Structure 1
Amino acid sequence: MTIDLLDSTSVVDTSQVRSRKTIAAPATDVLGRIANLETRLARTAAEIDAAQAVRYRVFVEEMKAQVTPEAERRKRDVDGWDAICDHLLVLDTSIEGDAEEQIVGTYRLLRQEVAARAGGFYSASEFAIDDLLARHPDKRFMELGRSCVLPEYRTKRTVELLWQGNWAYALKHGIDAMFGCGSLPGVVPEEHALALSFLHHNLLARDQWAVAARPELYRTMDLMPPEAINPKKALAALPPLIKGYMRLGAMVGDGAVVDHAFRTTDVLIVLPISNISGRYLNYYGADAGRFSSSVS
């Protein structure tokens, strides 16, 4: 789920990332493995820097996101949340060299208690999530962001490992619900009338899970009447990431937000753990053990 860069009001100085200790974690921190690919959290500041380089390649070089001159000089996608988030990685262990050269995909994970200490979630800059959080004081939320995979690794296997990592992490930390921005390409929501209308009419979060785009940023997703929507064509028009969360049991917030920096149209994905389809719980394992049996 893509989220955009911060400006100079970033909640955390990015130099904190580089001040982290660089002692490698033990091999048992691997969360899953399929053949030559494995998933785990970043162990060092150097690995976080490498993940930021992957993000730059995808978001800036491929998707043409707008970044600061400093980010362009360093060829890194960096913002203030990087210092407080955990960074989930997918690595190709068949590549010779160190872990930094093996990173082919990444996800950024931010737990509610960490966000609360650091000034809040990024998604609050686009969506009015405070009321959602307040309605669930007994639940622990986690924000997913900056999801990207290098083009040659955009396969079912890589996606499965990313979800494996998210699921194992959520279980470890007792997470009750995940959320984050899902992106469609371009800054004209009307170009995605079919996909956005399908989401609005079929997956809108309601009642205790209702959440909407911030009023000043709100763009309607209700662009076509239900009877005019061809579900098969609508599904084909959705990005794979959003479709993947739909299959798991996710909902979407009311209203889209245009992210001019990333040149995307964002919707808020909301996924209560209790909504996750039994089919997927069985596939990945209630204990996230599906792809961890070969992990030493």
Structure 2
Amino acid sequence: MQTAMPQGESRPTTGTALFRGEKVAGMLEGASLGRIGSLEVRLARNEAEIAAAQEVRYRVFYDELGARQGLQALDRRDADRFDPVCDHLLVFDTALPGPEHRRIVGTYRLLRQESAAAAGGFYSDDEFHLTRLIGRHPDLRFLELGRSCVLPEYRSKRTIEALWQGIWAYINHYEIDVMTGCASFPGTVPAIHAEALTYLAHHCLAMPPWDVRAVAHRYCAMDLMPLEAVGARAAIAAMPPLVKGYLRLGARIGDGCVIDHDFATVDVFVVLPVAAIETRYINYYGGEAQRFAA
């Protein structure tokens, strides 16, 4: 899920906390989590790879999409305080020349519930009441996904499938029950996306026990036009690919959207219990990825 972007964070923080032995020893140590053609997906295994992923994020979020630049511009990296406690899922094009960390073409940031405490909570807590949702499900394990980012020339079905092989192996290894995170519409005016947001509000809203609401001081209504004026096909076509992809998997959407002025996006919250993922997708991604999950 493409995350709501950082709020006023500054310099890259790639400290060694990321490489605590208990996080790496079980599944990782550079192990492949998926492979399609020349594309290979695995977790970052050193600081050079995290820094390279942050540079890819900067190229997309700042250079391409026009995020508000602050001190990040000094290093040309998109980085915040959550990076050291997250796992960084990376897609490499092994056919590219040069050192391995320069072959990164896509990335996803993964924050498990037990790691979030080290960062003082989840990234999405600034926009949505994620912690309240987790509190209602004390027996389930949550994973926050964010910073979805793929270089323009690699925005293809094959790259997305490679990422999902890695995610599926990851959630199986760590026995994740619920995936959450923010997804973004471009711009800072919800009304521009009125048809898509209204459709989400009426047809895709998370119901109890999975309902989540935007924090009060940032809440923006999603029900922006008469329902009878909303065309389902047009509304779905107007959604970002990430939102459509998660809806296909069985995800639901939180109540209210949030404007992120730093990154010029309108953010919605996505909730995806693993048990709700349609069987056909589990069969499709799980068959190949399962051998990487041990």
Report deviation, 1:242: 0.6
Aligned-partner Cα distance in 2 for 1:15–1:290: 31
Aligned-partner Cα distance in 2 for 1:50–1:90: 12
- Whether the 8 Å contact between 1:33 and 1:294 is mirrored in structure 2 is no
Instruction: Give 2:140's aligned residue.
Output: 139
SS in 1 for 2:96: coil
Paired AA for residue 14 in structure 1:
T
List aligned pairs for 1:100-179, cutoff 5 A. Answer: 100-179=101-180
Paired AA for residue 174 in structure 1:
E
Structure 1 pair 191/6, CA: closer, same or farther in 2 (3 Å)?
A: closer
Aligned-partner Cα distance in 2 for 1:244–1:212: 21
Paired AA for residue 112 in structure 1:
Q
Instruction: Give 1:16's aligned residue.
Output: 15
Paired AA for residue 56 in structure 1:
Y
Instruction: Give 1:278's aligned residue.
Output: 279
Report deviation, 1:73: 1.6
Pairwise CA RMSD of aligned residues?
Answer: 2.4
Moved over 4 A (4+): 17-21, 23-27, 291-295
Paired AA for residue 254 in structure 2:
G
Instruction: Give 2:66's aligned residue.
Output: 64
- Whether the 8 Å contact between 2:107 and 2:149 is mirrored in structure 1 is yes
Paired AA for residue 49 in structure 1:
A
Structure 1 pair 195/123, CA: closer, same or farther in 2 (3 Å)?
A: same
- Whether the 8 Å contact between 2:250 and 2:277 is mirrored in structure 1 is yes
SS in 2 for 1:58: helix
- Whether the 8 Å contact between 1:250 and 1:271 is mirrored in structure 2 is yes
Paired AA for residue 63 in structure 2:
E
> TM-score, normalization: structure 1?
0.92
Report deviation, 1:7: 3.3
List aligned pairs for 1:182-197, cutoff 5 A. Answer: 182-197=183-198
Aligned-partner Cα distance in 1 for 2:173–2:292: 19
Paired AA for residue 190 in structure 1:
A
Report deviation, 1:284: 1.1
Instruction: Give 2:34's aligned residue.
Output: 32
Aligned-partner Cα distance in 2 for 1:104–1:254: 33
Paired AA for residue 143 in structure 2:
M
Aligned-partner Cα distance in 1 for 2:12–2:117: 16
SS in 2 for 1:197: helix
Report deviation, 1:129: 1.5
Structure 1 pair 292/101, CA: closer, same or farther in 2 (3 Å)?
A: farther
Q: What is the number of residues matched between the two proteins? A: 288
Percentage identity across paired residues of the two chains? 54
SS in 2 for 1:113: helix
| CA deviations over 1:147-193 (Å, ceiling 9, x no partner) | 00000000000011111111111110010000000000000000000
SS in 2 for 1:206: coil
SS in 1 for 2:59: helix
- Whether the 8 Å contact between 1:31 and 1:40 is mirrored in structure 2 is yes
Return the match for 1:290 from 263, 288, 291.
288
Structure 1 pair 290/20, CA: closer, same or farther in 2 (3 Å)?
A: closer
Structure 1 pair 172/215, CA: closer, same or farther in 2 (3 Å)?
A: same
Report deviation, 1:94: 0.1
Aligned-partner Cα distance in 1 for 2:29–2:222: 46
Report deviation, 1:140: 0.4
Tell me if 1:53 matches 2:55: yes
- Whether the 8 Å contact between 2:5 and 2:260 is mirrored in structure 1 is yes
Instruction: Give 2:78's aligned residue.
Output: 77
Paired AA for residue 113 in structure 2:
Q
List aligned pairs for 1:221-260, cutoff 5 A. Answer: 221-260=222-261
- Whether the 8 Å contact between 1:17 and 1:82 is mirrored in structure 2 is no
Aligned-partner Cα distance in 1 for 2:83–2:43: 13
Report deviation, 1:225: 2.6
Structure 1 pair 117/15, CA: closer, same or farther in 2 (3 Å)?
A: closer
Paired AA for residue 15 in structure 2:
Q
| CA deviations over 1:127-161 (Å, ceiling 9, x no partner) | 01222111100000000010000000000000111
Runs (5+) with no aligned partner, structure 1: none
Report deviation, 1:117: 3.4
Structure 1 pair 188/17, CA: closer, same or farther in 2 (3 Å)?
A: farther
Aligned-partner Cα distance in 2 for 1:18–1:211: 30
Aligned-partner Cα distance in 2 for 1:226–1:109: 36
| CA deviations over 1:206-242 (Å, ceiling 9, x no partner) | 1110100001000000112322111111111000011
Aligned-partner Cα distance in 1 for 2:155–2:239: 16
